[in-house]
Amino acid sequence: MTVGTVAIQSPGDMGSGVGRELIARGFRVLTCLAGRSERSRRLAEGAGLELADSLDTLVESAELVLSILPPAAAERFADEAADALRRTGARPAFADCNAIAPATARRVAARIAGAGTGAAFIDAGIIGAPPGKSGLPTRFYCSGPNTSALEALDGPNLSVRRLGDDVGRASAMKMVYAATTKGTFTLHAAALTAARVYGLSAPFHAELEESRPAEFAAMNRMVPRLPLDAARWVGEMHEISETFAAAGLPADFHRGAARVFELLARTPIAAETRETVDPARTLADALEIYAETLDSLKDAGERNGG
């Protein structure tokens, strides 16, 4: 399928990065900023995305719509997009690229099919950093009866990998991968914070540095930055829990991970962004903040309980 114009909703870190990459390769890329934040506007303008005045204009102008949103917003945007398809009669391919469970992906597919225009639905899951941010391409796993529109975006920095005809397979791939990465990050954060609460940070860190140096280096790099994304990753952990439950596995692992992200989202660091985060903050600094936040929540619980 020939694709010349791509719509991206919305232009957050990943969406704007994908848009910048596609523009550099000659695609026309649109977004609609109605109801979006000022940061999304800055990211969209910085990436060179063209602004559509409405969702109707967006779906009428594009051959492919990429939904790249926090998972909690996936179904709501699918409803809005389906309404726009119904009003306009447009039939761009619609790729849900959000971190959602297979069952959620199938509900989104039903919403797009319900518009009645014949727009193809593509189940997709994004793995990796935005294009150009690491030594690896951004991987778009996809599945569904017709994924050709998304496959048309395949290139050196954006690798599109088809997983078959079944809607839900690509979402499951994203879920099991994020279960491993983000789930592990939350376990690290919880264990390191517990060590800080018990006054064991120095010997615990020394042991990790001696016996698991690569893992400890990753903790130093990742754990202080988790609050920047914690609020939007809470929903992703619940989607992973649903995915595990549907496979007959315990769902509690990532419900606990969601609780860790909820804690991190309450810290002062969560008010920062990837552009404004303090680059000098160390793991020890971050753990001090996490422990203080935990203490404040415990104190509030004691007061609320009388």
Domains defined along the chain, listed by start: 5-165 (3.40.50.720), 172-304 (1.10.1040.10)
Quote the tokens at residue 140.
Answer: 């778009």
CB 29 within 8 A of CB 8: yes
pLDDT in tens, 212-234: 999 999 999 999 999 999 999 99
pLDDT tens for each residue of 143-162: 999 999 999 999 999 999 99
Quickly state the pLDDT bin for 291 (edges 50, 70, 90): very high
Which bin fits 116, alpha (ψ -120 to 50), beta or left (φ > 0)?
left
Is residue 176 over pLDDT 60?
A: yes
**Angle made by CA atoms 177, 179, 184, in degrees to the nearest 5:** 110
Look at residue 223 in the predicted model and tell me its pLDDT: 98
Eight-class DSSP state of 89: -
What's the CA gap between 260 and 229, in Å, rounded? 12
- Per-residue pLDDT at 117 exceeds 60: yes
Query: pLDDT band at residue 274, thresholds of 50, 70 and 90?
Result: confident
Q: How many whole angstroms separate alpha carbon 170 and alpha carbon 245? A: 17
Peptide linkage before 10 cis (omega within 30 of 0): yes
Is residue 306 scored above 50 in pLDDT? no
- Label each residue of 167-235 as H, E or C: CCHHHHHHHHHHHHHHHHHHHHHHHHHHHHHCCCHHHHHHHHHHHCHHHHHHHHHHHHHCHHHHHHHHH
pLDDT tens profile 61-90: 999 999 999 999 999 999 999 999 999 999
β-strand pairing of 138-143 with 121-127: antiparallel
Between the alpha carbon of residue 199 and those of residues 186, 193, 204, 284, the distances in Å are 20, 10, 10, 12
